[in-house]
Amino acid sequence: MFWNIMKSMDVISLIPQLCNEKDIDIVILCELGAIETEYIERRLRETEKNYLVELPLPNNRTYLFHNKKQGIGKVGDGRFYSAFKILDKSSPILLVSLHLPSRLYKTESNIGAHAARIKREIEELEKELNTNKTIVVGDFNLNPFSEGMTSSDGLHAIMDKEIAMKLKRKVDGEFCKYFFNPMWSLHGNMDKNVLGTYFHHKSQTSYVWNMFDQVIIRPQLIERFDFESLEIIHMINETPILNKQGRPNKESFSDHLPLKFTILLEE
What's the CATH number where 219 sits? 3.60.10.10
- pLDDT range class, residue 266, cuts 50, 70, 90: confident
C-alpha Rg value of the chain to the nearest Å: 18
Instruction: Let me know if residue 168 belongs to a domain.
Output: yes
- pLDDT range class, residue 202, cuts 50, 70, 90: confident
- pLDDT range class, residue 203, cuts 50, 70, 90: confident
Q: How far apart are the first and last CA of the chain?
A: 22
**pLDDT digit string, tens, across residues 133-170:** 999 999 999 999 999 999 999 999 999 999 999 999 99
Instruction: State the pTM of this model.
Output: 0.97
Instruction: Let me know if residue 35 belongs to a domain.
Output: yes
Task: Give yes or no for residue 215 having a pLDDT over 90.
Answer: yes
Instruction: Let me know if residue 19 belongs to a domain.
Output: yes
Instruction: Let me know if residue 267 belongs to a domain.
Output: no
Taking residues 10-34, what's their average pLDDT? 97
Enumerate residues 6+ apart whose C-beta is below 8 A from 158: 150, 164, 178, 179, 180, 181
pLDDT of residue 207: 81
- pLDDT range class, residue 190, cuts 50, 70, 90: confident
Task: Give yes or no for residue 246 having a pLDDT over 80.
Answer: yes
**pLDDT digit string, tens, across residues 66-95:** 997 768 999 999 999 999 999 998 899 999
What residue ranges in 148-253 does DSSP mark as E strands? Answer: 157-158, 168-171, 174-177, 179-180, 198-200, 208-210, 213-217, 231-232, 235-236, 239-240
Domain count, the chain: 1
Using DSSP bridges, classify how beta strands 198-200 and 208-210 pair: parallel, antiparallel or unpaired: antiparallel
Task: Give yes or no for residue 189 having a pLDDT over 90.
Answer: no
Q: Which residues pair with 220 in a beta bridge?
A: none
Taking residues 15-23, what's their average pLDDT? 96
Instruction: Let me know if residue 131 belongs to a domain.
Output: yes
144, 156 contact by CB (below 8 A): no
What is the C-alpha separation between 139 and 173, in angstroms, rounded? 32
Average pLDDT, the chain: 95
Instruction: Let me know if residue 265 belongs to a domain.
Output: no
Q: Return the percentage of the chain with pLDDT > 90, whole number.
A: 89
Taking residues 210-222, what's their average pLDDT? 98
Instruction: Let me know if residue 266 belongs to a domain.
Output: no
Domain that holds residue 121: 2-260
